[in-house]
Structure 1
Amino acid sequence: MDKAIGLVEYKSVATGITAADQMVKVADVEIIEAQTVCPGKYIVMICGKLSAVIAAVEKGEREFSEDVIDSFVLGNPHEAIFKALNGTSEINDVEALGIIETFSVASIIVAADAAAKAAKVNLIEIRVARGMCGKSYLLLTGELAAVQAAIDAGYKKASESGMLLNKTVIPNPDKKIWEKII
């Protein structure tokens, strides 16, 4: 497996920046994002070969464990994650709406990957702790049964880290809601 992403979420900006430096020095990885998120947390998202991403994330966790909030390594992540993170998903058909909400950035990305792999759904947006006091959420759409299966899979994965806040499936959201979401 050559394609992987990893993320470590820190409670300190200074620690996060220092950790990012150490992570790229220990393994051949690229930084996708290294930035502050609410409420003053810092995330470092990297990509590269699976072994390199594992080594870098382990370094970031081990050396700065007192400031780690959450982390993950995903081998072969679903391609829809990147568009949903950047807000560039193209959604043409809107049907049921699924929502997962978590207390960490790492847990929502892991939940999104599980959801996207579980059923034929379209990821609309992954909002990571910006303007939400550190919480994150995922919006997805598709046929009702697919959305329910995806939300169940994402919910189960997010529950494993203890960072799950809430989930819901809206079978037929009103057009006024879609206009605000998309």
Structure 2
Amino acid sequence: MEVGVTLSNELEVQIAEAFCIFDTHGDKYIDTRNVGNVLRFLGCAPTEKEVLEVIKATESTDYPGEAHISKFMAHVSVLLMDHKMEPASAVKIMEAFEVLDPENKKYLTKEYFGKLMAEEGEPFTEEELEEMWPVAIDPITGNIPFIFYLNQLKHKTKIYEVADAVKEELAQAEKEKGKKPPPTAP
């Protein structure tokens, strides 16, 4: 893949591929409004605060409102290797569903789940809910069965496994040079 920057490992390749999907002009820049989309495409689950932090760290000084691939890749690689913005595990999601289902029905209604998603924690917008429903709702019952929903989410990229492998490779390379491993983000 030609992205105009040197790609030195699989993590950088995956970040570049995701970035280029949102690089509508092919100029190695994306609108900072797409930073969250790139992160979610990679399989991250950033909060709005985390998206804003990535924008702040990667926004071009020459072109405000734009992020260049090299700055984005360098910053996001470190975040991924440190497991920042990592989505909850299937076990954690299942535990959360079980708390929300005291009657042990093994599903939530669209109305109840939608109310929770729109009003609790970091609320979803109506647009985000509309994007989520086709993945969450069982087309036969119209409800959100836990196992069905978790299986729909399983296809997500294993970006954190790639990040771990790259982090290990970098640490090994530094060890062979007799230096300390690369610093991690605070």
Same fold per superposition (TM over 0.5): no
Name the one with the larger strand percent: 1
Question: Shorter-chain TM-score: what band?
Answer: under 0.3
Larger Rg: 2
